Structures are given as C-alpha cells and as structure tokens.
Structure 1
Amino acid sequence: MKGDSVMVNATQLAKIYGKRPNDYLSLPATNQLINAITRKYGISENQLVISKAGSSHNGGGTWMHRLIVVDFCQWLDIDLKLWCTEKLDELMRYGMTATQPTLEQMINNPDLVISLAQNGKREEKQRLALEVEKKEQEKLSIIEETKPAVVFTECVTSSSTNILIGDLAKLITQNGNFRNGFSHCKSQGVVIHDTPDAMEE
C-alpha cells in the first residue's frame, strides 16, 4: 500500500469463490477498464496488476489496484454486484447513498442530515465554480488564437485605400501571425491586390 495505490491480493479473493484472476483479466471488458483507468489517471498497466512469485499466503499471486478490485469483486460475487447496482440506483434517485447504520443515525440525528446537506451543497458550488473557470479559460484561448486574424481583417477593412500585402504584414507583425490573418481576411471576402514581389516580403 502506497498513498492511494491500495493493492489487494486477487488470488486469495478468487480462491474463496473457486475462481482464477487470469479468467477475469482475459475478459475484453477488463482490458477496457484497465485502459480507461490508465487514460484517466495515468497509472501504467504494470502498476494496476502485479504478479508475484510464491504462494498467496506468503505474498505471492496476482495483486490488483483498488480501482480494479471493485469490478473484480463484482465478477466474483453476483450478490455483491447487485448490491453495487442498488447503491448506484440510490445515488441516481436520491443524490446520495449510505450504509444502514448511517441511515439510522440520520433518522435519529437531524443535525447529521443538515451537515451532510451543507457539505453536498459546498461541493456542488466548488464543482460549478471549476466548470465556469474552465469555460472562461477556453474562451480566452479561442480569443488568443483568433487575435491575429481579427487584427489583419480590421487593418484591411478600416483602410480607405488599397494597401500592399508587404506593408500590411509589417503593420501587423507585432500583433500576430500574418499568414493566419491573410487566410482569415480572404475567407471574409476582403480582396487585396498586390504584386508577386510584395507577397514574398
């Protein structure tokens, strides 16, 4: 065990049900789960599943990361899978789930219900704030990417006379990428006449 990287001896668990970890690991759905965990958390496959020599009683066998063990245990025990499904159903219907002792505490202690509700409200506020911040950063990124093209178009459309591309390039060099601006200007229907020599400047 290291930080959140809790490893469980899957060989010992599987023996209780007369099953083998290798049968679970060979399933296409298991490979998809491992790939999804690797993609999201950046944990390599050899850190999610570890094989050690020796008997399971001496630390040998197949060890699995906690994120995989949850699914592995549902594969081992159909009743556990049903229990997990029921908990997900509670989350979808009520927005929360709890063990029986916690439910009894909530019934007998209204302050606990209020505390849980306040914590949930605070977490939801934080989540919404992060979403807003992410959207604002995306907007700023788009603005920065299109800035050269906008500057280019404004320079051309605000001019009362024709302007050579070479001169215009010098004008907007400090503000952005000339090639991107020219492409954008063409797409907006702005026509600029220039000589081939000036285009090469």
Structure 2
Amino acid sequence: MNSNVIPFDFDGQPVHFSLDGWLNATKIAARLGKEPTAWLRKIETLEYISFMAEALGFNSVPGTELEEIKALGTSAPGVKKRILELSKSTGMVRSRAGSSGGTWLHPKLAIVFARWLNTRFSVWCDLKIDSILHGEMSTRVQLDRACKALEDRKSQASQDGKGLSSWRWDRSSLEQSVGYWLGQVQMTLDLDAA
C-alpha cells in the first residue's frame, strides 16, 4: 500500500488515502486528538459497518450476534473488544503495520468516521474521496504509465550493457514524462509533493 498512498493536506496536517479511497484513520485521528478504536468499539459503529458490509457484499455481522451485543451494552466485560473484532471481520476495516500502517477504513466508512472526528474534516474528506474515485482518472493513468515506462527501461538497462548505453539517452525524457504527469496529478488532486 506504500506506493499507492496519496497524501493530502487538511489544515496543515497530512491525511493519507489509498488510490482506491481508503482512509488512514489512525494518523488523522491522532492529529485531531482521537483514536479510531474508540469509534470502532461503539455499538452504533458496528451496526453501521455491518449494514454497509451487507449492502456492498462484504462479510456482515450475524444479526443474532449484533442483537446480543446491543442487549449487553458496551459496559459488559469483553464487549468492546468483540465489537472491534467483528468490525474488522467484515473486511471494511484493515489494520497494517509499517510506515503506512495503522487502521484503514473503506471509503464508505471514511465519511461516517470523519463526521465523528470533526464536521469540517468530514466535508473535506467527502470531497477528496470523490476526487480520488471519480476525478481525473486519465491523469493518474498517464502517471502510472510514465512510472512503469521509467522502471521498465531502468530494469532493461541494468540487464545488459547495450541497454545501459541507450538508457543514458532515454532516461532524461522518461524522467521528464514522470515529472510532468506527477505535476498533473498533483494539480488535479491538490496533492503535496511526496
């Protein structure tokens, strides 16, 4: 997910989305003084995630288990932990380790989560996800193609001496192409330089 992370700026704070609109909830929640697990351990959150998962064809939480948790309430021992486990079991919540790790939320959960964090951030988040999912895709495709051409050519150059000679001539134009399309993507999506 590392190379597929798009950094945006919200009030001077970086917010990370994947190219398919998943939100890194851990990093933005920390910047706004909250933790995603506090949201994920709420009964209303589990109910929302379950219904959304069912509607989108993900794993849903069995209705009987959801009703049992609602009857017990979050003050019962182990319920909050079970709610978190069930939320993750749907496939709409992902946890990752590493530099781009944390709790990642499906785009359909990101806005609900953002509302819980901050109303202004929620509106901003909704607009950014829309631009990722429905924005200028051809620019992003062009950037992907330029990056692939650069990597392919670099790989070929390292495989044989003859390729190394032509690599010297091709490198500049390929890097310029990547730079141009990166600039176009940044303008289209309002990206900060990575």
Q: Does the alignment reach a TM-score above 0.5?
A: no
Question: Which is helix-richer, 1 or 2?
Answer: 1
TM-score by length of 1: 0.35
Question: Which is strand-richer, 1 or 2?
Answer: 2
Of structures 1 and 2, the one with the larger relative CO (CA 8 A, separation 6+) is: 2
TM-score by length of 2: 0.36
Structure possessing the higher radius of gyration over alpha carbons: 1
